[in-house]
Amino acid sequence: MAHMIAAAATGWVRSGIGILRMSGDGCLETAGKVFRTDSGRPLAELPNRQLTLGTLFDREGRVIDRCMVTVSRAPHSYTGEDTAEFQCHGSPAVLAAGLEALFSAGARQAERGEFTKRAFLNGQLDLTQAEAVIDLIDAESPDAAANAAGQLGGAMLRRVEPIYDSLVDLCSHFHAVLDYPDEEIAPFEQAELAGTLRDAEASLSALLATFERGRHLKNGIRAVILGSPNAGKSSLLNALAGYDRVIVTEIAGTTRDSVEETVTLGKNTLRLVDTAGIRETGDRIERLGVERAEQAAGEAELAIFVCDAGRPLTDADRRAIRDAKKAPQAVALLNKSDLPAVVTAAELPFEHVLSVSAKEGTGLDALAALVDALFGSGAPCDGSILTNARQAGAVSRAIESISQARASLEAGMTPDAVLLDAEAAMAALGEITGRTVREDITNRIFERFCVGK
């Protein structure tokens, strides 16, 4: 566990600064074998968390880089162990040579997520905080980053721990009465048990209810653009993406395959699919594109129907409308608002109809506001939103166990049978914070991380 590990904490691309990270017992003395401070002071004697200038050498004593180092001693470090970080010039060649020097001095290559895994195992982070690290790295929107930062600060722990502790108090009270009948311990009250279980179930249900919003924060919203050929679907995708992602021409059927792009719209991230124009066609390739468009519509959480407001609705438009209406949320756009219109909002069977010009970029702010409203972006992203599918599964199992406990209590079963389910709920909640998590689950969690974090 305490063996010295090292890795590049920044990407292998040219940049202004690249960071090499090292952790483990004896790493300060080991790092001092390949780093010499300008002051001549040994690296192991440097003060904590203070940048110091010096020179990094390879195993033959050749200069690799002039760089800065900072040390942090256990337990006051990210991993809870002695650590050293070198701020080098961000050349991949420099970082590779620096790592090789640290390996030759006695460190080994860190595994994926091993620094954060050590922080968890050494009690520096609970599991909700550890998982928030990778969520923060992967965040694609300000709200996703804010929620991950809140969880890194312990927001999810503060929401789960009181529920866990209430169940601990209840179970320990019962076992104390059972194991020490001669002691003057207040008797076990059935009403107390019922109230604790009811409150725990309500709190967990409220937490689980945030998961849909959390899933959208973390993974984005699956969205599809539908419409007849030349309605302006590809122009809309280009406008939302901010660059010419797909070819736009006046020739009907230019887009023959599904084109995917991740875009930020308002406070949401959309996994947006532009599709072939939906129509009857004898072209085999275009027909395959239409089939993919209809498949994408069936998988989408949001369908955006686009029609050319300057021409009457066609059978192709009506077919696209039917496909769009299958999605849980659907929005209609009267496109080409910069030109005279012949189609009105009343002709479209959608609750939400907006007038836009994909070419001019007008009306897109209203679309962003509408999508934010449809997908609940008003909830505070302070870390209390459940974004992790593993954690959501544990919450769901805890709710199921508590529900079974309440049902047993109402059926008049003995308290020990009821508490068996309460302890199962505690075990499920312990998986969220790491109190009862199995080693295989822990390993699987940290496999999602990048090397060096």
pLDDT tens digits for range 202-239: 999 999 999 999 999 999 999 999 888 888 888 888 88
Total residue length of the chain? 453
Instruction: Confirm whether 381 is domain-assigned.
Output: no
Tell me: do 256 and 166 sit in the same domain: no
Q: Residue 97 belongs to a domain with what CATH number? A: 3.30.1360.120
Q: Residue 408 belongs to a domain with what CATH number? A: 1.20.120.430
Average pLDDT (322-332) is: 92
Tell me: do 221 and 179 sit in the same domain: no
Q: Which domain holds residue 364?
A: 217-374
pLDDT value at residue 292: 65
Identify the burial level of 102 via C-beta atoms within 10 angstroms of its C-beta, where 0-12 means exposed, 13-18 middle and 19 or more buried: buried
Tell me: do 310 and 229 sit in the same domain: yes
Identify the burial level of 249 via C-beta atoms within 10 angstroms of its C-beta, where 0-12 means exposed, 13-18 middle and 19 or more buried: exposed
pLDDT value at residue 157: 94
Q: Looking at 122-136, 190-204, 248-262, which range is the least confident one?
A: 248-262
Tell me: do 231 and 315 sit in the same domain: yes
Tell me: do 49 and 161 sit in the same domain: no
Higher pLDDT, 186 or 157: 157
End of a domain among 77, 110, 143? 110
Average pLDDT (314-333) is: 91
Cis amide leading into 75 (omega within 30): yes
pLDDT value at residue 123: 93
Identify the burial level of 149 via C-beta atoms within 10 angstroms of its C-beta, where 0-12 means exposed, 13-18 middle and 19 or more buried: middle
Q: Residue 318 belongs to a domain with what CATH number? A: 3.40.50.300
End of a domain among 46, 78, 110? 110
Average pLDDT (337-356) is: 92
Please state the domain count of the chain. Answer: 3
End of a domain among 110, 141, 174? 110
Instruction: Confirm whether 121 is domain-assigned.
Output: no
Q: Given pLDDT bands bounded at 50, 70 and 90, which one contains residue 249? A: very low
Tell me: do 223 and 368 sit in the same domain: yes
pLDDT value at residue 251: 40
Q: Tell me the one-letter amino acid at 65.
A: D
DSSP class of 167: H
Tell me: do 315 and 415 sit in the same domain: no
Tell me: do 222 and 196 sit in the same domain: no
Tell me: do 13 and 141 sit in the same domain: no
Tell me: do 223 and 361 sit in the same domain: yes
Instruction: Confirm whether 74 is domain-assigned.
Output: yes
Instruction: Confirm whether 122 is domain-assigned.
Output: no
pTM beyond 0.75: yes
Instruction: Confirm whether 97 is domain-assigned.
Output: yes
Instruction: Confirm whether 390 is domain-assigned.
Output: yes
Instruction: Confirm whether 380 is domain-assigned.
Output: no
Tell me: do 226 and 136 sit in the same domain: no
Question: Distance between CA 339 and CA 329 in Å, rounded?
Answer: 28
Asked if residue 65 has pLDDT above 90, the reply is yes
pLDDT value at residue 229: 82
Instruction: Confirm whether 142 is domain-assigned.
Output: yes
Average pLDDT (138-166) is: 93
Tell me: do 234 and 355 sit in the same domain: yes
